[in-house]
């Protein structure tokens, strides 16, 4: 049986990837951290299913910060594929906690590469890299050859990790790949990312539970796609016959303002009556023109983003409506 290990299984992407791998007949192992509550809401439907949990899905306590435990999991599980999605994933927060962001994202990835190198049979590795490595690029759209020029601690840590993955592939011979992913969203997105924050607030205002939505820079633009398309890209990357890096993106830019208008339109509210900006929510620096060219993934992997921006934001808003109406 195919056996995969997911670091970051409790996150947005990890939970969708676990579903995808289980559907493809894998035995799935995931690393979880000790937390004060056991509420792993994105995975609950899987571990409450007695035909899956502890039969084809296994969770192990470990931490990117704790090499001994991680090494033990690798030795015991002996995965054929590793999907490394774990880390501090909030860009704005990386200005508040730069050291731990870099420790986990940069050094954590290097330590993982060292552990894999020491295994008798090195598994394939997918690393979740980010468009943030490009910062403020002079070339738009970006591709796999675009120069790294990060503008925040998160992007800098991802650039280090991305380069290390390429070095271990080219000089040590590991089957190690970077998926350079642009923003991707879903109803499982963390609540402090802007799409989820907007969809949730639009619904809370509609239901009369909140009155306003306060945002930072609404002119900021991103290339937003659907997380379920991107986890498919992760899997396809490791099924390709050679280890390579791929851009996963839609190739289309939208602004935060576009998200606001789509979400408020979905709940039939006038956004002008409820949305304001506060400069305390502005980032110290914003990346610019981050839009990706997914041509290589399309050509070599047959990968296509399937969901439009409008469909994605409406789906997220409807999901909030179901969730908030139920409580
Ligand atoms: P999430 O923030 O939803 O998930 C992050 C995961 O990492 C969680 O499972 C979290 O566990 C885990 N984690 C954090 N710190 C540690 C640690 N010290 N040891 C072990 N696990 C840890 O992120 P996403 O699912 O959105 O993204 C997945 C990866 O892809 C991230 O690395 C992110 O930076 C990258 N990425 C994401 C993009 C996006 O738009 N979503 C775009 C480009 C890259 P816990 O639940 O315990 O906190
Ligand atoms: P990002 O996503 O920083 O691109 O990182 P986020 O949703 O946090 O911000 C997108 C843009 O919206 C602007 N913005 C706000 N952002 C937040 N969070 N909250 C606000 O109130 C707000 N108002 C405006 C931001 O300034 C920014 O310009 C995501 C993460 O998933 C990373 O892990 C990943 O690597 C990148 O996408 C690609």
**How does the average pLDDT of the chain come out, rounded?**
96
The CA distance from 230 to 236, in Å, is 10
The CA distance from 221 to 286, in Å, is 10
Instruction: Determine contact, residues 155/135, Cβ cutoff 8 Å.
Output: yes
Instruction: Determine contact, residues 252/305, Cβ cutoff 8 Å.
Output: no
Question: What is the crossing angle of helices 108-118 and 67-77, to 10°?
Answer: 40
Neighbours of 227 (CB within 10 A): 23
Element (H, E) at 319: helix 309-325
pLDDT at 107: 97
Helices (H), 141-226: 153-167, 194-206
- The pLDDT of 139-162, averaged and rounded, is 97
Tokens 């192992």 found at: 29
Tokens 């195919």 found at: 2
Which ligand lies nearest the alpha carbon of 184?
Answer: 1
Which ligand lies nearest the alpha carbon of 194?
Answer: 2
Neighbours of 73 (CB within 10 A): 21
Beta carbon of 85 within 6 Å of any ligand 2 atom: no
Single out the residue of 211, 204, 217 nearest to residue 285, CA to CA: 217
Q: pLDDT category, 37, cuts 50, 70, 90?
A: confident
For 121, counting Cβ atoms within 10 Å of its Cβ (0-12 exposed, 13-18 middle, 19+ buried), the class is: exposed
**Beta strand pairing status for 184-185 and 225-226?**
parallel
The residue ranges of DSSP E strands in 38-165, in sequence order, are: 57-61, 81-84, 124-130
- Model confidence over 163-198: pLDDT tens digits? 999 999 999 999 999 999 999 999 999 999 999 999
Residues with CB under 6 A from ligand 1: 7-8, 10-14, 31, 33, 35, 63-65, 85-89, 104, 128, 130, 181, 183-184, 190
Instruction: Determine contact, residues 206/239, Cβ cutoff 8 Å.
Output: no
pLDDT at 240 over 90: yes
Single out the residue of 86, 42, 57 nearest to residue 228, CA to CA: 42
- Model confidence over 63-103: pLDDT tens digits? 998 999 999 999 999 999 999 999 999 999 999 999 999 99
Element (H, E) at 185: strand 184-185
Domains present along the chain, CATH in parentheses: 3-185+226-248 (3.40.50.720), 194-222+253-291+307-325 (3.90.25.10)
Neighbours of 269 (CB within 10 A): 16
Test site for ligand 1: of 63, 84, 86, most ligand atoms within 8 A of the Cβ = 86
Neighbours of 72 (CB within 10 A): 14
**Token couple for 323:** 């969730």
pTM given for the model: 0.98
């Amino acid at each position: 049986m195919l056996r995969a290990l997911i670091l970051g299984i409790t996150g947005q992407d990890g939970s969708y990837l676990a579903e995808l791998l289980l559907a493809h007949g894998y035995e799935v192992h995931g690393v979880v951290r000790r937390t004060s509550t056991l509420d792993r809401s994105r995975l609950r439907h899987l571990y409450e299913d007695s035909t899956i949990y502890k039969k084809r899905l296994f969770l192990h306590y470990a931490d990117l910060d704790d090499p001994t435990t991680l090494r033990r999991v690798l030795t015991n599980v002996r995965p054929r594929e590793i999907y490394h999605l774990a880390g501090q994933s909030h860009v704005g927060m990386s200005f508040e906690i730069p050291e731990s962001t870099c420790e986990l994202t940069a050094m954590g990835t290097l330590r993982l590469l060292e552990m894999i190198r020491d295994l008798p049979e090195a598994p394939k590795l997918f690393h979740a890299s980010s468009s943030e490595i490009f910062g403020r690029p002079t070339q738009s759209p970006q591709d796999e050859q675009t120069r790294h020029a990060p503008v925040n601690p998160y992007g800098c840590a991802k650039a280090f990790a991305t380069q290390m993955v390429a070095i271990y592939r080219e000089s040590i011979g590991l089957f190690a790949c970077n998926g350079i992913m642009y923003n991707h969203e879903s109803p499982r997105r963390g609540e402090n990312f802007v799409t989820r924050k907007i969809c949730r607030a639009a619904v809370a205002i509609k239901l009369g539970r909140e009155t306003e939505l306060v945002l930072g820079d609404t002119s900021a633009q991103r290339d937003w796609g659907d997380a379920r398309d991107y986890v498919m890209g992760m899997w396809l990357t490791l099924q390709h016959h050679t280890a390579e890096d791929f851009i996963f993106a839609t190739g289309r830019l939208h602004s935060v303002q576009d998200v606001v208008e789509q979400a408020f339109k979905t709940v039939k509210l006038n956004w002008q009556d409820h949305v304001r900006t506060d400069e305390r929510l502005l980032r110290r620096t914003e990346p610019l023109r981050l839009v990706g060219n997914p041509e290589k993934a399309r050509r070599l992997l047959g990968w296509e983003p399937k969901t439009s921006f409008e469909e994605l934001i409406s789906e997220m808003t409807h999901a909030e409506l179901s969730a908030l109406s139920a409580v």
